[in-house]
Amino acid sequence: MKLKNLFPLIPAAIFLLPLFFPMGCANTTTPPTGGPKDTIPPLMTKVNPLPGTANVPTHGTKLVFTFNEYVKIKDASSIFLSPPMEKKPKGAIKGKSLVVTFEEDLEPNTTYTLDLTGAIVDNNEGNPYPGFTLVFSTGEQIDSMCVTGLVQDCNSLKPLKGATVLLYKDQADSAVFLQRPVAAAKTDDWGYFSIRNIQDTVYRVYAIKDENNNNKYDPESERIAFLDSLFRPDIVYNDSLYEFKKFDMKDTALCMARKTQFELNVFREKPSKQYIVKKERVGERTAYLTFMAPGAHIYDMRIKGLPREKLLRQFNPQLDSLELWVNDQRKMPDTLKLDLVYDKTDTTGRLKRTKETVKLFLSKEARAELMKKQKDTRNRKHEDTTAVMKTEADATLIEQYGFQVTFDFPLIEEHWDELEFKSVNPRQQESKGSVRVVRDSTNLRHYSIFPTEPFQVGYDYYLKIPHRRFRDVNGFYNDSTLLKTTLPNDEKLSSITLNLSGVRNRYIIDLLNEQRNKVLRTKITEKDGEVLFPYLKAGNYCIRMTEDVNRNNLVDTGNLLEHRQPEKVRFFKLKDKFLIEVLEKAEMVWDVNMEELFR
């Protein structure tokens, strides 16, 4: 029989063949595993040109990195060239090789480094290539100096991943705005950077969070850090330097063992231009303005058709957000015209006293809601006709902040002398007392109320705000409210006491959460003595200390052109650790020399 006559029988044979073999030959309950998972990263087997090659052509340059397996580009932005060019290097995979090309000519007589850390993974399992830095020169020699350091957030002192460190030989203040650096590097997961094979010369050093990846500083959208003094590298690079090895970022011990020559604290500058960026009318008698920059200076303002004294206003502490209320019971028009005289940035970039009319439109939603309330009086909510207030009497904070009362709208009539305060001791004996009221200097709607006698453990305290004793700008009166608190007597609660010495300035002492992103309590001091944080639950805390140089009770940022760093921040540490573990029933006391801490 000819072979071609057998072709029609092949499909049938394939179908019937399994029927002639016992089923016991295969495991029908467990699918094949395919062997152990590949966890081995790719291995580089060849580089062209070789590391340290000089006289590399400036035009049509091509760098080829060959691996022992097929790879792919995970993050093209991690193919980082120093000094950077206007157009970024292009990477392409050809077979088992990564080919890097350039869209513009390289600079002559320049030492370049191309770093691949975080850029490459294997094709199948995505195992990351640990990284490689290729150094080459378009001139006769390779530059030999190096520098290392740390970049961190100025407020939390947390390491800043992905920041760009920039070195400039040009010492002009404008260089970081207009030019690309002569050397650069990205920070790793630990905020650490290392720049190798740079010239032996003097540099200005900056770090930016380069949001648009142009290797220049854009103050409107980016954060920056700078070194106070000029820097000249004093370490010669060699392959044995520990700080330049490629580490697994999860290996804390190895990463933390790297030495740093300096630290850079990144901050966000105050915007340089001043103007109104947002306006909104949020109610019939309520609106707010937002300014581009802090420190807005207003000379005069009024609502057209109303006396000046009918307009109530309040800035936030940074003076970049302004709340407005109209103290007039008449029906307000859909559009309020606000005449405003303030310092505004002109076309030359200078502040100039400017008169501006801001139209405050009542939004469609607010207008519809207002008309609904006016027409449908039967479904009007109680809070629609009441001077609404929010109250708080947190037992763990009452000694520091007192009873707290915040009204939704400013008051135009108030009778604090009619508050009723009493205490009940453990023997249930009742005693009336007096209080003092403190209005918040940054929020005219917020009040703190303290008894004239100190709080005592075991006593119950009652504060009554009587009915109709306060009236807001809407003409509404308050409801009666009773607040009660008792100092905690839970034996499981703990306390932290700091005995401060060497206090030569005003300091803001913040108790933070474990993540260092939330302030739990704040104390401000300007003299030696005790700072107490009582009634703490077991857990992890951090203590941040800020040197309040201008004594404004704010943590102020820096300014690059004025060569002013952000206000100094230090953390109280135990055995070089930020976290303070507070156990139950603990009374933790430490001595802190502020002069040494901030030296």
* Residue keyed to tokens 């005289």: 341
Q: What percent of the chain has pLDDT over 90?
A: 80
pTM for the complete prediction? 0.80
On whether both 481 and 512 belong to a single domain, the answer is: no
Collapsing DSSP states into helix, strand and coil, what is residue 309?
helix
* pLDDT of 376 higher than 80: no
Element (H, E) at 449: strand 446-451
Q: Are residues 398 and 325 both part of a single domain?
A: no
**3-class DSSP state of 152:** strand
Residue pLDDT, tens place only, 121-174 = 999 889 999 889 999 999 999 999 999 999 999 999 999 999 999 999 999 999
Q: How many residues does the chain have?
A: 599
| AA letter at 387 | A
Q: How many Å separate Cα 592 from the centre of its chain?
A: 27
Whether 364 and 327 have beta carbons less than 8 Å apart is answered as: no
| CA distance linking residue 468 with residue 479, whole number of Å | 6
Q: Identify which of 463, 460, 387 has the alpha carbon closest to the alpha carbon of residue 419.
A: 463
Q: In this structure, what CATH number is given to the domain that contains residue 65?
A: 2.60.40.1220
Same domain? For 84 and 137 the reply is yes
* Per-residue model confidence (pLDDT) at position 377: 61
Q: Where is average pLDDT lowest: 16-25, 145-154, 240-249, 403-412? A: 16-25
Q: Is residue 118 part of a domain?
A: yes
Q: Using CA atoms of 248, 252, 255, 260 in order, give the dihedral in degrees to the nearest 10.
A: 160
Asked if the structure places residue 513 within a domain, the reply is yes
Same domain assignment for residues 476 and 537: no
- Is the residue at 9 inside a domain? no
- Using the 3D structure, point to which of 460, 486, 512 is the last residue of a domain: 486
Q: Between these two residues, 24 and 486, which has the higher pLDDT value? A: 486
Percent pLDDT > 70 in the chain is: 92
Tell me phi and psi for residue 170, to 5 degrees.
-70, 120
Q: Which of 142, 159, 180 is the last residue of a domain?
A: 142
Torsion, Cα 76 77 78 79, to 10 degrees, reads: 70
Q: Could you say which of 316, 334, 369 is where a domain stops?
A: 369
- Burial class (CB within 10 angstroms; exposed 0-12, middle 13-18, buried 19+) of 441: exposed
Residues 401 and 307 in one domain: no
- For 101, 215, 410, 573, the CA distances from 577, given in Å and listed in that order, are 45, 34, 45, 5
Domain range enclosing 125: 42-142
For residue 323, the 8-state DSSP code is E
On whether both 362 and 416 belong to a single domain, the answer is: no
- With respect to residue 519, please indicate whether it lies within any of the assigned structural domains: yes
d(CA 551, CA 501): 19
Q: What is the pLDDT of residues 397-438, one digit of tens each?
A: 999 999 999 999 999 999 999 999 999 999 999 999 999 999
Q: From CA 575, how far away is CA 372, in angstroms rounded?
A: 63
463 and 444 share a domain? yes
> How do strand 235-236 and strand 192-198 relate by DSSP bridges?
unpaired
Q: CB 92: neighbour CB atoms within 10 A? A: 11
Q: Per the structure, how many domains does the chain have?
A: 4
332 and 400 together in one domain: no
**Nearest in space to 570 (alpha carbons), one of 531, 597, 540, 530:** 597
For β-strands 494-501 and 587-593, DSSP reports them as: parallel
Average pLDDT on 515-543 reads 95
pLDDT at 187: 96
Asked if residue 138 lies in contact with residue 112, where contact means CB atoms within 8 angstroms, the answer is: yes
- Do 541 and 564 fall within a single domain? yes
CATH number at residue 551: 2.60.40.10
Overall average pLDDT of the 497-526 stretch: 95
Contact 331, 290 (CB under 8 A): no
Read off φ and ψ for residue 400, nearest 5 degrees: -85, -45
Cα of 184 vs its chain's centroid, Å: 23
Same domain, 467 and 498: no
Sign, Cα dihedral of 558, 563, 567, 569: positive
In a domain, residue 32? The reply is no
Are the CB atoms for 447 and 437 separated by under 8 Å? Answer: yes
Q: Are residues 499 and 591 in the same domain?
A: yes
Residue 402 lies in a domain: yes
Dist CA 471 CA 485 (whole Å):
26
Q: Domain for residue 502, yes or no?
A: yes
pLDDT bin (cut points 50, 70, 90) of residue 28 is very low
Are 575 and 542 in contact by the 8 Å Cβ rule? The answer is: no
Query: What local confidence, expressed as pLDDT, does residue 34 receive?
Result: 55
* pLDDT attached to residue 272: 83
In terms of Cα–Cα distance, which of 81, 71, 120 is closest to 103? 81
pLDDT number for residue 428: 93
Alpha helices in 478-534 (DSSP H): none
Q: Is the dihedral of CA 481, 482, 487, 493 positive or negative?
A: negative
> In this structure, is residue 169 part of a structural domain?
no
For residues 557 and 272, the answer to whether their CB atoms sit within 8 Å is no
Count CB neighbours of 79 within 10 A.
21
Q: Give the CA distances from residue 45 to residues 53, 100, 183, in Å, rounded to whole numbers and listed in that order.
A: 17, 16, 28
CA–CA dist 328, 326 (Å, integer)? 6
Give the pLDDT of residue 375. Answer: 65
Residues 6+ apart with CB under 8 A from 174: none
- Same domain? For 520 and 591 the reply is yes
Helix (H) or strand (E) holding 377: none
